[in-house]
Structure 1
Amino acid sequence: MRLIYIHGYVEDPGIFDQLAPLLPGEDVLKLNLRDEFARWNPADRGVNVSSLAAYLAGTYQIDPADVVIGHSMGGWIAVNLKAQTGCGAVQISSYTDPRKIVTVTRNIALLRWLVRIGLVQSLRFARYALSKYPFEQSRALHRQLIDAMRAQPRRYIYQQLRVLLAPPDVPPAMPDVRIHTRPDNVLRAPDEPYYETSGDHFNLVFHPDEVAAPILTYLAKRRATT
């Protein structure tokens, strides 16, 4: 059983550094989406979560024997990979309904323009986002991610926004495990049942034991039935 980790918006695989050692490590793949987009090099207007999932499924031969563990946007990719390949899907602080994303606009054309003129990565926007951040525990991590976003290529920022918000071509599947927190300023709580943990959107970093527990239970049951 291969575990495939997919990070969230403006993150990198390091987001799993506290969680991954608590889970099986015999066959592990941690994807870096910035590198994947650079290799894939799609036409931007053709990017959505379905096209990205199809690219990843083909590139890494993802199949029903695999389990994809995704944080935030990565969890959205995970359930879309499950819809296309039958793989297992674990969502951490993620969603199956894009309306759960807390955002000022879902207008892709407007977001493209805001990225193009540099507003999304501007110092003014960064200062605003930092000043409004409500969680002390993850404040330093949030600052690191804002800094990372400001340094990422504008095209890659826009591609990620399309993955988050552009309508999928294939309806997503439901996750096998859904893990969430109530205090989350990025995503509203799911309507479906979920495992609740301490912390905020970054529970996997600051409460990895709580996040790992339901995943380990799921993996053990999965092994027992295969």
Structure 2
Amino acid sequence: MVRIFLIHGYVEDPTIFDKLIPLLPAANFVRINLADEFERWAPRGPVNVRLLAQYLTDYYQITADDVVIGHSMGGWVAIHIKQLAKAKAIQIGSFTDQRRIRLPLHNLLLLKGLLYSGITQSRLLLNYFRKQYPFPESYDLYCTLTDGMKTMSRRYLYQQLQTLFAQVPSLTVSPDLRIHARRDSIVARPSEPFVEVPGDHFSLVFHAEKVAEPIRELLATSGSR
């Protein structure tokens, strides 16, 4: 039975895939919790998405026979696993160009300064982002995720920021499938072809059937059953 790895996004956890999994073909689903992975890996120096992808590839012995589905930051990890292991990569609300991340600040040094000063996890800043969030459908989920940031260690948050923004060698592979909502306010839609789904950045939760459909088609046509 094919292994399908599921990698969540920034400040998320594997439950982000709970609505999607029952709609996919039977498989050996491996839910990656990045908080646990960074704790096990315990990198001593700076990290980036390529190093994280290498760690996951080695630890789980990921090969070309496997499928990796990533949401948001998880899709960025997934495509780098494909770069290393040739596994199929499916991106949901994700990117292959860091400039597609809708955040006015991408400078890691400044982001680290804001994080360790306490501003990133401050009630004032988190309330500001909640007030700016435009989609009622996923508003409660968005608030739950931002609230969860308050309890995350600064070390883990910075490891995620490095995964998102640290510079890495250019990709030479493309995702096998890109799924994106045009109204995504967190990651800009790809400039390459993609399958459009309704909703916003969290379409895999609120429009799981629409997200599952192209994944089922890809797995059926590629023989990953």
TM range (shorter): over 0.9
CA distance, structure 2, for counterparts of residue 113 and residue 162 of structure 1: 13
How far apart are residue 222 of structure 1 and its match? 1.1
Q: How far apart are residue 26 of structure 1 and its match?
A: 3.0
The answer to whether structure 1 residue 113 and structure 2 residue 113 are counterparts is: yes
TM-score calculated relative to the size of structure 2: 0.97
CA deviations 1:161-205 (Å, max 9, x no partner) are: 000010124626210000001111101111000000010000000
Q: Residue in 2 aligned with 1:92?
A: 92
- Offset at 1:125? 0.8
> Structure 1: where are the runs of 5+ without partners?
none
Deviation at 1:150, TM superposition (A): 1.4
Count of aligned pairs between the two proteins = 224
- TM score, norm. by length of structure 1: 0.96
Aligned to 1:9: 10
Runs of 4+ aligned residues of structure 1 deviating over 3 Å after TM superposition are none
2:201 and 2:8 map into 1 onto residues whose CA distance is 13
**For residues 71-105 of structure 1, what are the alpha-carbon distances to aligned partners after superposition, in whole Å with 9 as ceiling and x for unaligned?**
00000000000000000000000000100001121
- Report the equivalent of 2:135: 135
> Residue 214 of structure 1 corresponds to which residue in structure 2?
214
Q: Which residue of 2 aligns with 1:22?
A: 23
How much has 1:118 moved relative to structure 2? 1.1
2:201 match: secondary structure: coil
Shift of 1:65: 0.3
* Correspondence list, 1:154-173, <5 A: 154-169=154-169, 171=171, 173=173
Q: Is the 8 A contact 1:44 1:159 kept in 2?
A: no
Question: Match of 2:223?
Answer: 223
**Partner-residue secondary structure (3-state), 1:4:** strand
Partner residue of 2:79? 79
CA contact (8 A) 1:90 1:177 kept: yes
Cα distance, 1:149 vs structure 2: 1.2
The answer to whether residue 203 in structure 2 is matched with residue 203 in structure 1 is yes
- The match for 1:122 is 122
Paired letter, 1:19: L
Aligned-pair identity in percent equals 47
RMSD of Structure 2 on Structure 1 (CA): 1.2
Instruction: Give the superposition deviation at 1:43.
Output: 2.4
1:192 aligned residue:
192
Partner of 1:150: 150
Matching residue of 2:37: 36
CA–CA distance in structure 1, aligned partners of residues 177 and 21 of structure 2: 16
The letter for the 1-side match of 2:197 is T
Aligned to 1:177: 177
